[in-house]
Structure 1
Amino acid sequence: MLGAALTIAALAGCGVVVDRQADLREASAESRYPPTGKLIEVQGRTIHAHIEGSGPDLVLLHGASGNTRDFTFSFIDRLKDDYRVIAFDRPGLGWSERASETYGPWNPKGESPMEQAALLQAAADQLGVKRPLVLGHSYGGAVALAWGLARPDDTAGLIVVAGASNPWPGGLGPLYRVIGSSWGGALIAPLITAWAPEDRVDDALAGIFAPDPVPPGYSRHIGAGLTLRRESFRANARQVNTLRPHLVEMSERYPTLQMPVEIVHGTEDTTVPLDIHSEPLSRQIPGANLTRLDGIGHMPHHAAPEAVEAAIDRAARRARLR
């Protein structure tokens, strides 16, 4: 009995040390990377929206592990003279709160793309967004498609950039499975928040951008420490872990989408493969236009921004916004 009690006490002490270090790291990340836009109250949740420019409304939705800083690095500067750009932190990431308070560290459920779209649409309504173009990158592509499915008459067009849109064969990597589980989210996530070395972030970014280089200054700008906060880390893993069955259901409804849809995808994308996602999507949606970018990886809006900007402009013309 005494040995068991000492073991429990030792583990509790380790937990206190880990939590203290995680607290310090989270506070440092939040101090270094404050909100760049508005924090608005939506259905009892805080949503972060970065807004620039003027013209037709263009909503930007980032991918997994990301936040609005992925777009503010350079991409919004290309768009703000022609569009009012509204970049949202998706629920649970950046400075946006999760869509439901019922999800805790022991609950592995994650928000669906439809739940995320509904909350962000309510935020857009508060901002006076009317008949927007909606661009989604990677996981954000699934949320953009959910946006169009939920509001087909009030969505001018969709731009899906390297987007997750269809169910994939096999499973995810072990990290997503572990952190997305109830025990992993509660026990492993704090360890990563507390002790993950910064060079691992650079390695992860290099893998995401490959074969394209990471733009100089991107790692410092993106604020990866925000994603490594315990609650954000859990939310991201759970959203990715639970995405596939939602895509199964959503994909059956893609043929109902009637608005202009532009799809942009790199041929060398190994994170969200072209042949599994965008090529089928281009056949599922009537009139969808697919732009294949030879030799480009998972980040076309950085590696080939002109092509993504051209897709936005085509969608705007097709929707008669220009």
Structure 2
Amino acid sequence: MRVLVILLVLAALFWAVTLWRAARHEARAEAAFPPTGQFLEIDGTRVHAVVSGSGPDVVLIHGSSGSTRDMTFRLAPALADRFRVIALDRPGLGYTDRIGQGGASIAQQADLLRRAAQELGAERPIVLGHSYGGAVALAWAVNHPDALSALVPVASPSHPWDTPLDPLYRVTSSAPGSAVVIPMLTAYVPDSYVESTLASVFDPQDVPEGYAAHFGPGLSLRRTAMRANARQRANLLAEIEALHGRYGDIAVPTEIVHGTADTTVGLSIHSQPLLAAVPGAVLTRLEGIGHMAHQVEPDAVAAAVDRAAARAGLR
């Protein structure tokens, strides 16, 4: 009995230290990478928006584990001389509040971000989404066809796939994983580990100099962000299965951009079928480019926005 009591005391002490370390890690990350934009209140949900430039409105939606910092590194500056660029943190990530406990579906995220854009006066923006953010952009186009003028999915998942969910997300999206594993990851995984994983995300290109320092890896390791991201990733396949049959209803100019060397979101599985599904869509294949096209070829992605604007009569 005494041994059991000692073990329980040690476990309690370990858990108290873990929670303290997690909170300290989060505080350091938020101090080092504070919000750089403004906050909007949408039915009680705080949405973080970074606005730059002037001209026709373009909304930028980041991918998994990201924030507005991903979009403001190279792409927003490449557009801000001729567009008003609105970069938005998705729910639970960056500095936008989480919606509920389920991670928020792509439809819920699209609705929230649409209303945030409208709060900023962007009634019918061009909507660009990268990776998971591209799925949110597709949900925006399908569910709110009168609330955008053009669509630019970049390396976006769009159609069902047959590869299993990453083991990390299988664990962290579960109730025990969310309660136990995520706090331990926040407490004990250093920011340098996130920085090291960027190489695989950018492969076969190198991570641009200064990207990690701008991106803020510690923001992705916060407990709220990890829980939201895990549930979003776990739910995405089912949501895509429900959405992809409706792409034929998209009537706005659509400029798809995808790297031919993308092994994270396959071109042949996603953007090629999307090209066939959306009336009048155009696909730009970036030869030899991996998943992070908006970082390694920002001018090519910006050119797609220019074409979308011209097709929508905004140029």
TM-score normalised per structure 1: 0.96
Contact 1:282–1:290 under 8 Å retained in 2: yes
Q: Which moved more, 1:121-130 or 1:222-231?
A: 121-130
* 1:186 and 2:176 aligned: no
Q: Report how far residue 49 of structure 1 moved.
A: 0.2
Alpha-carbon distance in structure 2 between the residues aligned to 1:306 and 1:74: 9
Alpha-carbon distance in structure 2 between the residues aligned to 1:283 and 1:9: 61
* 1:242 and 2:235 aligned: yes
Gaps of 5+ in 1: 104-108
| Equivalence for 2:23 | 23
* 1:296 and 2:279 aligned: no
Contact 2:92–2:103 under 8 Å retained in 1: no
| Equivalence for 1:307 | 300
* 1:200 and 2:196 aligned: no
Alpha-carbon distance in structure 2 between the residues aligned to 1:168 and 1:188: 27
Contact 1:132–1:156 under 8 Å retained in 2: yes
Q: Select 1:252's aligned residue among 233, 245, 254.
A: 245
| Equivalence for 1:319 | 312
User: What amino acid is the match of 1:262?
Assistant: E
Equivalent runs, 1:124-139 vs 2, <5 Å: 124-139=117-132
Q: Select 2:169's aligned residue among 176, 179, 182.
A: 176
Alpha-carbon distance in structure 2 between the residues aligned to 1:44 and 1:116: 14
Q: Report how far residue 20 of structure 1 moved.
A: 0.4
SS at match of 1:252: helix
Q: Report how far residue 5 of structure 1 moved.
A: 3.2
| Equivalence for 1:59 | 59
Identity of aligned residues (%): 51
| Equivalence for 2:214 | 221
SS at match of 2:146: helix
Alpha-carbon distance in structure 2 between the residues aligned to 1:196 and 1:181: 19
Gaps of 5+ in 2: none
Contact 2:39–2:46 under 8 Å retained in 1: yes
| Equivalence for 1:82 | 82
Q: Report how far residue 77 of structure 1 moved.
A: 1.1
Query: Over residues 146-174 of structure 1, what are the superposed CA-to-partner deviations in whole Å (9 max), with x where a residue is unaligned?
Result: 11112112210100000111111121211
Alpha-carbon distance in structure 2 between the residues aligned to 1:153 and 1:118: 12
Contact 1:99–1:119 under 8 Å retained in 2: no
In the alignment of these two chains, the number of paired residues is 315
Alpha-carbon distance in structure 1 between the residues aligned to 2:188 and 2:39: 29
Query: Over residues 199-254 of structure 1, what are the superposed CA-to-partner deviations in whole Å (9 max), with x where a residue is unaligned?
Result: 32122100000001100011111011111001111111110111000000110111
Alpha-carbon distance in structure 2 between the residues aligned to 1:183 and 1:247: 26
User: What amino acid is the match of 1:300?
Assistant: A
Query: Over residues 101-141 of structure 1, what are the superposed CA-to-partner deviations in whole Å (9 max), with x where a residue is unaligned?
Result: xx1xxxxx321100001111121121111210000000000
Instruction: List 4+ stretches of structure 1 deviating above 4 A.
Output: none
Q: Select 1:145's aligned residue among 138, 152, 161.
A: 138
Contact 1:92–1:99 under 8 Å retained in 2: yes
Contact 2:40–2:116 under 8 Å retained in 1: yes
Q: Select 1:265's aligned residue among 258, 264, 279.
A: 258
Q: Select 2:274's aligned residue among 255, 258, 281.
A: 281
| Equivalence for 2:68 | 68
Alpha-carbon distance in structure 1 between the residues aligned to 2:286 and 2:212: 24
| Equivalence for 1:33 | 33
Q: Report how far residue 320 of structure 1 moved.
A: 0.5
| Equivalence for 1:106 | none
Contact 1:18–1:194 under 8 Å retained in 2: yes
SS at match of 1:153: coil
User: What amino acid is the match of 1:61?
Assistant: I
Equivalent runs, 1:151-166 vs 2, <5 Å: 151-166=144-159
Alpha-carbon distance in structure 2 between the residues aligned to 1:250 and 1:164: 11
Contact 2:259–2:291 under 8 Å retained in 1: yes
Query: Over residues 273-297 of structure 1, what are the superposed CA-to-partner deviations in whole Å (9 max), with x where a residue is unaligned?
Result: 1111111111111111111111000
| Equivalence for 2:11 | 11
Alpha-carbon distance in structure 2 between the residues aligned to 1:32 and 1:54: 29
